[in-house]
Amino acid sequence: MRGMMKKILLYFLLLLGYILLYVIDIEEIVYPSEDTKVESKVDFVYQQF
Amino acid sequence: MWFDKVLPFSSPTFFVFMGIVVLLVLISKAFLQKIVPYRILMGLLSLTYIAILFPKPFHIIGLLVYSYYCLLALRKWYKSENIVLPMVLLSLPMLLMKFLSNITFSDTNWWKHTPELFQIAGISYLVFRVIGLYIDERSKPGKINFLDFFNFTSFVPTLLIGPLDRFQRFTTDVKSGYSNITSSLFLQGWNNFLLGLLYKFILAEAIHRLLLSQLVDDGSILYHLSYMYTYLMYLFFDFAGYSLLAISFGNFIGIHVPINFDKPFAAINPKEFWKRWHKSLGEWLNDYFFKPLFKFFTQKKYGTSIQRQNWALFLTFTLMGFWNGFQLHYIVSGMLFGLYSVVHNYYFYQCKKQKKEVFFGHLSEKWIKFLSIFIMFNLVAFAIYIFSGKLF
């Protein structure tokens, strides 16, 4: 039961996060006065050569 | 070129490529097991990625060939006590990359493009894997053919930033081949995949876009504190997410990639922290640097046992700092982690000697644990803040 709840939560967060971050622009809602849009950070902060 | 160059897990193209890889491996398991041996298929798939998607394919092939022949040439040193020269030779491309990256060349200088030769994505991890292989081989020499070496060093999911695997463990998985691909491992991979997506592409992304990028640098302490904790969370979700994705794709094709993060913020001391945060690097440093260094100090009879331990600890973490880069913030961050370990090691020694909790006194175990976690979390946040380069 606990495992099932965890899975449901995981799928829910993935879906919600995808919609908020990649479908509707959450930054425009949270920071409406911002002129510049923050670029996606789908990158590696720990990346090194 | 027909395709844009992409690093692992950095674009949808990579996920499509890996999807095709998984599909091909599963088809081969079902229909082509006797025709296409697993290790050859793995080699072909890695080579395909390097050839069509990896930036600087010729550079990395050159690096792999250098490392392989260097390994073979260094076999005559197996019985020698001197391990420094082999280590320097094996890590030479990485050392040159780190060193040359810090030099400013004038536009007229004919060798101004030299640093680019060594700036190969994943070079640091690749060199660490090769050094680990060399040291393991010293104690148990065996045959290393190029295909096994290539499969190990260029395994696509872990090519860029680990987790750091061991040659023997990895090769055992490859030898088991198709039989390792089971529904339970696949399911485990699927769970890791979803969690990795959540960490890297939702939580790390949200922290970066909604918090980290929105902080206004007014020079106040509050700003620096906010940055410190936000950056720590961002780094954790980004890196742990990447590691989970690498583990998941390994699981899909029958490779048990070692885990890299295991609730790091529940650590009660530096020793435990490095068993939970970037675990594969912590184990690598322990096995291939701390232990040999401590052994060397013991053979030379330098200082007392606790002094030898402390020096070996401090130098190990300082090395980690240099490995991250020759910039001051990486080095200081590494030294700071070294200092934490030395202080904890000395504290542990004192507690053992005095047979009591020197700092916490008569507090209950529950409180000691809670306070230890709190202190450790904040110490880590500060060291990672230095690592971020925000301060200097």
Q: Which residue has the higher pLDDT, B143 or B282?
A: B282
**Mean pLDDT, rounded, for B292-310:** 94
Q: How many CB atoms lie within 10 A of CB B67?
A: 24
How many angstroms separate the CA of residue A23 from the nearest CA in chain B? 12
What is residue B211's predicted lDDT score, i.e. its pLDDT? 95
Q: Looking at the predicted structure, is the pLDDT value of residue B75 above 80?
A: yes
Q: Looking at the predicted structure, is the pLDDT value of residue B201 above 50?
A: yes
In percent, the amount of chain A with pLDDT more than 70 equals 67
Residues of A with CB under 8 A from a CB of B: 10-11, 13-14, 17-18, 20-21, 26-27, 30-31, 38, 40-49
Grade residue A44 by pLDDT with cuts at 50, 70 and 90. low
**Mean pLDDT, rounded, for B221-243:** 96
Q: How far apart, in whole angstroms, are the C-alpha atoms of residue B231 and residue B217?
A: 14
Q: Looking at the predicted structure, is the pLDDT value of residue A47 above 70?
A: no
Contact at CB, A48 and B208, closer than 8 angstroms: no
Highest average pLDDT, of A25-39, B111-125, B314-328, comes from: B314-328
Contact at CB, A49 and B123, closer than 8 angstroms: yes
Chain B hits for A48, CB-CB cut-off 8 Å, are 124, 161, 324-325
CA B290 to chain centroid, in Å, comes to 16
Q: Which of B8-22, B43-57, B107-121, B375-389 shows the lowest mean pLDDT across its residues? A: B107-121
How many angstroms separate the CA of residue A16 from the nearest CA in chain B? 9
From the list A10, A21, A49, the residue facing B120 with the nearest CB is A49
**CB proximity list for B33: less than 8 A, separation 6 or greater:** B178
What is residue A39's predicted lDDT score, i.e. its pLDDT? 58
Q: Looking at the predicted structure, is the pLDDT value of residue B363 above 60?
A: yes
From the list A21, A47, A48, the residue facing B206 with the nearest CB is A21
Are B258 and B210 contacting, i.e. CB atoms less than 8 angstroms apart?
Answer: no
Degrees, nearest 5: CA angle B6-B202-B239: 60
Grade residue B103 by pLDDT with cuts at 50, 70 and 90. confident
Grade residue B172 by pLDDT with cuts at 50, 70 and 90. very high
Q: Looking at the predicted structure, is the pLDDT value of residue B117 above 50?
A: yes
How many angstroms separate the CA of residue B125 from the nearest CA in chain A? 8
In percent, the amount of chain B with pLDDT more than 90 equals 83
Q: Give the pair of three-digit tokens for residue B138.
A: 């010293």
Residues of B with CB under 8 A from a CB of A: 7, 9-11, 97-98, 101, 118-124, 160-161, 194-195, 197-198, 200-206, 208-210, 213-214, 234-235, 238-239, 242, 324-325
Contact at CB, A49 and B235, closer than 8 angstroms: no
CA distances from B122 to A5, B80, B324 (A): 38, 30, 12
Interface probe, candidates B208, B281, B388, chain A, greatest A C-beta count within 10 A: B208
Residue of A nearest to B206 (CA): A21
Q: Which of B1-5, B99-103, B123-127 shows the lowest mean pLDDT across its residues? A: B1-5
Contact at CB, B206 and A11, closer than 8 angstroms: no
Q: Which of A4, A44, A16 is closest to B242 using CA atoms?
A: A44
Task: Give CB contacts under 8 A, 24+ apart, made by B65-69.
Answer: B66/B93, B67/B93, B67/B126, B67/B127, B67/B130, B67/B153, B68/B144, B68/B146, B68/B149, B68/B150
Q: Mean pLDDT over all residues of chain B? A: 94
pLDDT tens by residue, B266-277: 999 999 999 999
CA distances from A43 to B201, B236, B311 (A): 9, 13, 36
